[in-house]
């Protein structure tokens, strides 16, 4: 069976309605060859039929563009099921999967008492961030639930030339600043930066800084460049102060910054808190952010 791209649909957004109306073969025909090697038409129809039982409609939750793919997340009318599909630049479906819609409404409504800024200068891109696991893979983990992963992007890519050297990534060696006034309570430095594509799971946070703020809140910034951190435990910092450089250390495949606020200094067991930002915005995956 040859691949027929989604030009047969009026738009990618139309796919979910055709799929719900049992146009399973039509949707399957629009998937990539790689997808079809993993999932047969029969399997796709069986799963789709079962999953759509009792569903009246799906509504779009998020639409984001990452690395030249457009990702759609839809939820059903009861907000119990999710459908996620990714389209390439030719509108061909590169991934299509379904999963229960897991939410944590109680903690979603609990914000930090302090107001923060993102720990960056210039424009950065939110690669992971938001209140469901499809826009923020941290969400299912209580100690990271409202964390952000930030990269720098130009023309849809996070790197120039080729993704072989850390220096080719736009985020690498960029300034990282304090997100609010506070006192540094923990610093880890000296961990080497990974070769892009490789990760150091034993030192998950890599080089990182934890800052204690008012109201018993603690920010953590991770994946600094080796030997770039300019503060030490006990130092007082002010909002916007330069504290180090972005790197690719720890459980990181490319240069980026991980940022979160917790109710404890313990990065393993402290609970992540949804961040209240000074500018009143609530960034999610796909947003471009700046402190300018």
Residue ranges, comma separated, of all CATH 2.70.70.10 domains in the chain are: 106-290
CA distance 198 to 253: 5
For 28, the token pair is 């399957």
CA distance 148 to 283: 9
- What pLDDT is recorded for position 15? 93
- What pLDDT is recorded for position 248? 98
CA distance 114 to 261: 10
- What pLDDT is recorded for position 9? 65
**Would you call 155 exposed, middle or buried from its count of C-beta atoms within 10 A (0-12, 13-18, 19+)?**
exposed
- One CATH from 3.40.50.300, 3.10.450.590, 3.20.20.70, 3.10.620.30 for 6-100: 3.10.450.590
- What pLDDT is recorded for position 6? 42
- What pLDDT is recorded for position 8? 54
CA distance 172 to 247: 5
Q: Average pLDDT of each block of 10 consecutive residues along the chain (292 residues)? A: 47 89 94 94 96 95 85 93 92 92 93 98 95 91 97 91 94 98 98 96 96 98 98 98 98 97 96 97 94 82
- One CATH from 3.30.450.20, 3.60.21.10, 2.70.70.10, 3.40.50.300 for 106-290: 2.70.70.10
Contacts of 100-105 spanning 24+ positions with Cβ under 8 A: 101/75, 101/76, 101/132, 102/132, 102/133, 102/140, 103/79, 103/131, 103/132, 104/139, 104/145
- What pLDDT is recorded for position 10? 67
Residue ranges, comma separated, of all CATH 3.10.450.590 domains in the chain are: 6-100
């Amino acid at each position: 069976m040859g691949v027929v791209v989604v030009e047969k649909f009026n738009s990618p957004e139309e796919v979910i309605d055709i799929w719900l109306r049992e146009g399973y073969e039509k949707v399957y025909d629009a998937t990539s060859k790689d997808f079809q090697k993993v999932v047969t038409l029969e399997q796709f129809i069986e799963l789709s039929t079962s999953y759509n039982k009792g569903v009246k409609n799906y509504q779009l939750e998020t639409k984001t563009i990452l690395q030249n793919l457009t990702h759609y997340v839809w939820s059903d009318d009861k907000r119990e099921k999710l459908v996620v599909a990714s389209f390439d630049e030719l509108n061909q479906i590169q991934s299509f999967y379904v999963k229960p819609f897991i939410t944590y409404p109680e903690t979603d409504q609990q914000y930090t008492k302090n107001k923060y800024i993102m720990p960056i200068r210039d424009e950065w891109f939110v690669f992971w961030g938001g209140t469901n696991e499809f826009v923020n893979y941290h969400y299912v983990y209580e100690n990271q639930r409202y964390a952000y992963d930030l990269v720098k992007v130009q023309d849809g890519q996070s790197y120039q030339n080729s993704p072989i050297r850390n220096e080719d990534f736009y985020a690498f060696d960029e300034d990282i600043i304090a997100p609010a006034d506070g006192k540094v309570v923990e610093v880890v430095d000296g961990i080497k930066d990974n070769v892009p594509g490789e990760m150091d799971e034993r030192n998950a946070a890599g080089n990182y800084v934890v800052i204690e703020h008012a109201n018993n809140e603690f920010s953590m910034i991770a994946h600094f460049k080796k030997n770039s951190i300019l503060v030490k435990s006990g130092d007082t910092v002010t909002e916007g102060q330069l504290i180090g450089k972005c790197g690719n250390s720890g459980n990181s495949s490319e240069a980026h910054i991980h940022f979160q606020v917790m109710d404890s200094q313990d990065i393993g067991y402290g609970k992540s808190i949804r961040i209240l930002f000074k500018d009143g915005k609530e960034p999610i995956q796909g947003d471009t952010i700046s402190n300018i």
